[in-house]
């Protein structure tokens, strides 16, 4: 699913090296390059966080080594239960505690604090953005709105090499917008708008997922960010902003859509379907997944989803739709033209 360029390959090698050191450090941990990993950063912010992590990890390992070393020393010179109690106080005791237990930790922590503040500053202020995208969280999917009227769901295209500004909010409970490979996460809260700047130079598909518990289907609330060159992006956005094309061959499918319960919740721009409870379906055929990353966007999966969404994602807002086989086929034919 991951599209990768030459630059991407080069970075993947670095990531595998990073992955290797994780293996060395962390027992026999298997690292998969398919993971939406904080440790395989492809965005500017994520890269800073990755560097901060490695800095803190090495410091932590050094501290852990000192502690374990002292513990081993204590164990090596262990005694027996009937050893006489030692009532002397070693002269090095208090200075040791002040130096090792107060002064050195304070110096290390101040240093890390300063580095982390610098990173926080860099992540928060990234200058002017070339594009602002609104993302609205719903139980349990993502509404994505572009300037110029393009509306999509659960999939966000961005241009590479530019700072993209996300304006994030929620329509109901709190969600959290997290694309580990690109940026830190930030919450989406009804009544507030949070801003997250994202910039990546590496084209690819990056998985994101809701990171704030948001109820029954919090587990199935994923999305994808597709980073592509400015030209590809412009072409995509232009297409996305246009209304759906009508086609006489599939007109019967549109009729099914308009005469069933679908129309109550979904919009297909350019038709009479203007529902707003569910995702905008104007260009749904171009998307990678259905139901916010829950199932692939294939004809069979789409059919299952329309007929029995509750078995795929129990508790979600979409009701089952009973259709005759002919109607379902017509509907699927039609929906597949919406690219």
Partner 1 sequence: MASYAERLELVWHEGTGLSAWAGTVDHKRIGLRYLYTGFVFFVLAGLESTLMRVQLAAPGLEVLSPQTYNELFSMHGVTMMFLVATPILSGFGNYFVPLMIGARDMAFPRLNAFGYWVFLAAGVFLNSAFLVGQAPDDGWFNYLPLASEQFTPTLAIDFYALGLIFIGISTTAGAINFIVTILKLRAPGMTLNRIPIFVWGELAFALTVVFALPVLTVANVFLELERKFGFHFYDADGGGDPVLWQHLFWFFGHPEVYLIVLPALGLVSSIIPTFSRRPMIGYTYIVLAELFIFVISFGVWVHHMFAVGLPTIALGIISAASFMVVIPSGTQIFAWLATMVSGRLVLSTAMHFVLGFLVLFVIGGLTGAMFSAVPFDQATTDSYFVVAHFHYVLAGGAMFPMFAGLYYWGPKMLGHLLDERLGKISFWLMFVGFNLTFFPMHIAGLLGQPRRTYTYASGLGWDLHNLLSTIGVFVLGAGILVTFWNWFRSRAHGEPAGEDPWSGDTLEWTTTSPPPEYNFTTIPTVRSREPAWDQPELIGGAQPPEDGGRPLTDGHTTLATTLADADPQAIVHMPHASPWPLFLTLALMLAFYGVLLSSWMVAAVGAVASAGTLMGWLWPRGETQET
The footprint of partner 1 on residues 58-97 (CB under 8 A) is 60, 63-64, 67-68, 70-71, 73-75, 77-90, 93-94, 96-97
Interaction of residue 187 with partner 1, rule CB under 8 A: yes
Inter-CA distances, 199 with 18, 54, 221, 227, 263, Å:
21, 21, 23, 9, 37
Positive or negative, the CA dihedral 193, 151, 276, 322 is negative
The 3-state DSSP class for residue 152 equals strand
Contacting residue, 4, 145, 165, 185, with partner 1 by CB under 8 A: 185
List C-alpha distances in Å: 4 to 8, 9, 143, 206, 213. Answer: 5, 7, 26, 11, 32
Site string for partner 1, 257-286 (x = CB under 8 A): ------------------------------
Q: How far is the CB of 272 from partner 1 (least distance, A)?
A: 30
**Shortest separation between residue 226's beta carbon and partner 1, angstroms:** 17
Contact 290, 296 (CB under 8 A): yes
Per-position x/- string for 36-55, each x denoting binding to partner 1 as judged by CB under 8 A, each - no binding: xxxx-----xx-xx--xx--
* Nearer CB in complex with partner 1: 117/251: 117
Contact present, 42 and 182 (Cβ < 8 Å): yes
List, as one string, the DSSP characters of 59-93: HHHHHHHHHHHHHHHHHHT---TTPPP-----TTH
What residues are paired with 133 via a beta bridge?
A: 166
- Closest contact distance (angstroms) between CB of 78 and partner 1 is 4
**Residue 106: CB atoms within 10 Å:** 10
How many residues interact with partner 1 (rule CB under 8 A)? 102
DSSP annotation of 267 reads: B
By beta-carbon proximity to partner 1, the closer residue of 243 and 315 is 315
> Does residue 203 interact with partner 1 by CB under 8 A?
no
Binding mask 283-322 for partner 1 (x = CB under 8 A): ----------x--------------------xx-------
Closer residue to partner 1 (CB): 184 or 203: 184
Q: Does 101 bind partner 1 (CB under 8 A)?
A: yes
Q: Does 24 bind partner 1 (CB under 8 A)?
A: no
Q: Evaluate whether 287 touches 152 at the Cβ level (below 8 Å).
A: yes
Question: Is residue 157 a contact residue for partner 1 (CB under 8 A)?
Answer: no
């Amino acid at each position: 699913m991951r599209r990768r360029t030459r630059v991407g390959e080069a970075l993947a090698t670095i990531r595998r090296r990073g992955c290797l050191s994780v293996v060395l450090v962390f027992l026999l941990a298997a690292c998969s390059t398919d993971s939406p990993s904080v440790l395989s950063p492809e965005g500017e912010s994520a890269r800073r966080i990755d560097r901060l992590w490695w800095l803190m990890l090495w410091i932590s390992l050094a501290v852990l080594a000192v502690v374990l070393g002292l513990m081993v020393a204590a164990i090596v010179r262990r005694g027996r239960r009937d050893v006489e109690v030692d009532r002397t106080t070693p002269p090095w005791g208090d200075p040791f505690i002040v130096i090792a237990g107060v002064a050195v930790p304070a110096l290390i922590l101040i240093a890390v604090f300063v580095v982390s503040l610098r990173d926080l500053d860099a992540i928060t202020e990234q200058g002017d953005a070339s594009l602002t995208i609104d993302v609205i969280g719903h139980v349990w999917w993502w509404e994505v709105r572009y300037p110029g009227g393009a509306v999509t769901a659960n999939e966000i295209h961005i241009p590479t090499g530019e700072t993209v500004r996300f304006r994030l909010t929620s329509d109901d409970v709190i969600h959290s917008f997290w694309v580990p490979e690109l940026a830190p996460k930030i919450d989406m809260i009804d009544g507030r708008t949070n801003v997250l700047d994202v910039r990546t130079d590496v084209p690819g598909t990056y998985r994101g997922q809701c990171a704030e518990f948001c109820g029954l289907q919090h587990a199935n609330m994923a999305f994808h960010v597709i980073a592509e060159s400015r030209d590809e992006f412009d072409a995509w956005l232009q297409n996305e902003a246009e209304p759906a094309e009508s086609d006489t061959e599939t007109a019967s499918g549109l009729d099914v859509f308009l005469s069933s319960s679908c129309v109550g919740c979904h919009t297909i721009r350019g038709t009479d379907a203007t529902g707003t409870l569910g995702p905008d379906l104007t260009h749904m055929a171009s998307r990678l997944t259905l139901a916010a990353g829950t199932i692939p966007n294939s004809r069979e999966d789409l059919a299952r989803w329309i007929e029995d969404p509750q078995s795929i994602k129990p508790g979600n807002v979409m009701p089952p739709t009973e259709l005759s086989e002919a109607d379902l086929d017509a509907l699927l034919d039609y929906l597949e033209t919406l690219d």
